Amino acid sequence: MVTAIKKYLVHIVIILILFGFSSVFNQKLAGEYEIKAALIGKFCQFVEWSTNSSVQDIETPFRIAVIGKHNFGKLLDDLYDNKKIKSKPIKIIYSVDPKKLLDCDLVFISSSVGSELDNIINYYSDKQVLMISDSKGFAQRGVHINLYSQNDLIRFEINETAVKKSNLQMSHLILKQAKIVNYGEEK
């Protein structure tokens, strides 16, 4: 019963986020991970996958993979159920084991896989997979977009070099909105 109510509430929150009735940055109104889950989809609006990417294959769904232990719970499944990214249905896949990497179009690397991060980055860096994390210093190590908190607001930083290396096309608009970092910069 409690789960059902919770699920119902989550739905309301997601709808409010999508229709812009509430600020996604307002942490007092929604949970941190709810905002992060929403931001994952919004980043896709400003990123273009090249023609040889599986994203261009209309037969397959848009796959979002979550590596490592995460705090999303069912948020991603609920949020992206019956939604579309790049005009394709969305499939959320999870791999708690950092060594077991999944084929996908976007990967969220949780902070729990820090020791395996370089391997993961190496694995995905030439595969046109948008890498997103929420751990300090991950962007400087090669993750494309890293979410961080500042003055109670969730902001993001982008490793522009890593993005260019991945053959993904990122809009200048998102670059202007983000903090630009580079490999090995001061954390």
Helix count and strand count (H, E) for the chain: 7, 10
CB of 137: closest distance to other proteins in angstroms? 22
CB of 36: closest distance to other proteins in angstroms? 12
Nearest alpha-carbon partner for 105 in 119, 95, 91: 91
**By CB under 8 A, which span of 6-14, 52-60, 120-128, 167-175 interacts with other proteins?**
167-175
Contact residue for other proteins among 8, 11, 15, 25 (CB under 8 A) = 25
Q: Is 169 in the site for other proteins (CB under 8 A)?
A: no
Residue with tokens 């939604």: 83
Please count the other Cβ atoms lying within 10 Å of the Cβ belonging to residue 144: 30
- At 11, list the tokens: 């739905």
What amino acid occupies position 96? V
**R_g of the chain, CA atoms, integer Å:** 16
Provide the pairing of β-strand 145-150 with 88-95.
unpaired
CB of 174: closest distance to other proteins in angstroms? 6
Binding mask 119-158 for other proteins (x = CB under 8 A): ----------------------------------------
Q: List all residues 6 or more positions away from 24 whose beta carbon is below 8 Å from its beta carbon.
A: 17, 30, 35, 38, 39
Size of the site for other proteins (CB under 8 A): 14
Q: Is 87 in the site for other proteins (CB under 8 A)?
A: no
Interface positions, 27-86, toward other proteins (CB under 8 A): 39, 42, 45-46
The footprint of other proteins (CB under 8 A) covers 19-20, 23-25, 39, 42, 45-46, 171, 173-174, 176-177
